Structure 1
Amino acid sequence: MTIQEAAQRSGLSAHTLRYYERIGLIHSVGRDHNGHRDYAQEDLRWLEFLTRLRTTGMSIADMCRYAELRRMGKHTAGERRELLKLHRERVRSKIAELTEDLKVLDYKINRYGDMA
């Protein structure tokens, strides 16, 4: 599929896809007979995973490290797992913070409801 189709399906812009390729988050995407990028279904699955990492706050540097380890092969599985476990703990911590923030908001909303 073209870069525009991949962008539409992934929810990322074509600019972001080119950037991800340039910094090594995406391997060199295949090319069609005209030399245009030709994304495969596997590329979309990888983009979905990268999007989830980014949405949950993983840094671009950590994402690049993960991508580099992935390209190195199965013998890096343990290191990739540890990277994901560390990120999971950061996500859990952020969820706990947000839960406390939500409680404060709920309290304030209820207080204003009592005043009406």
Structure 2
Amino acid sequence: MTITEVSQKYDMPQDTLRYYERIGLIPRVNRNKSRIRDYTEEDCKWVEFIKCMRGAGLPIEVLIEYVGLFQQGDETVEARKELFIEQRNQLVARMEDMKNTLERLDYKIASYEQKVVEKEKELRRSGE
């Protein structure tokens, strides 16, 4: 696949794909005879993985560390697992914070809705 096709498939700017390749988040993509990037299925799996992890808020630095560990082979399985456990715990904490914020927003919205209803009743009474 070309970078244009990958960009469209994963809804990711081409500049981001180039950046991720440059910093080592995705492996160096092979190029065809015309020097155009030619993404393999394996390359696309990396793009999808990184997009998922970034979407969940994992920092680029952590993902670079993960990719480095992955490239070292099976002797880093435990380190990769620990890295993901730590990131999972942080994600759970962020989700809890977001849940609390959502509940607070819902409360505020409900209180404003109540004020709007009261104001409308007041206007109807004054217009009678």
- State whether TM-score is above 0.5: yes
Q: Does 1:17 align with 2:11?
A: no
Runs of 4+ in structure 1 deviating by more than 2 angstroms, as ranges, are none
Partner residue of 1:111? 111
Alignment partners' CA distance in 2, 1:26 and 1:6: 13
Q: Does 1:5 align with 2:5?
A: yes
* 1:76-91 equivalent positions in 2, closer than 5 A: 76-91=76-91
The one of the two structures with greater contact order (alpha-carbon pairs below 8 A, sep at least 6) is 1
TM-score by length of 1: 0.94
Q: Does 1:73 align with 2:73?
A: yes
- What is the percent sequence identity of the aligned residues? 38
Alignment partners' CA distance in 2, 1:107 and 1:61: 37
What RMSD in Å do the two structures reach over aligned CA positions? Answer: 1.1
Alignment partners' CA distance in 2, 1:111 and 1:31: 58
> When the two structures are aligned, how many residues end up with a matched partner?
116
Partner residue of 1:35? 35
TM-score by length of 2: 0.85
Displacement after TM superposition at 1:38 (Å) = 0.4
Alignment partners' CA distance in 2, 1:24 and 1:69: 12
Larger radius of gyration: 2
Alignment partners' CA distance in 1, 2:77 and 2:20: 22
Structure 2: which 5+ runs fail to align?
118-128
Structure 1: which 5+ runs fail to align?
none
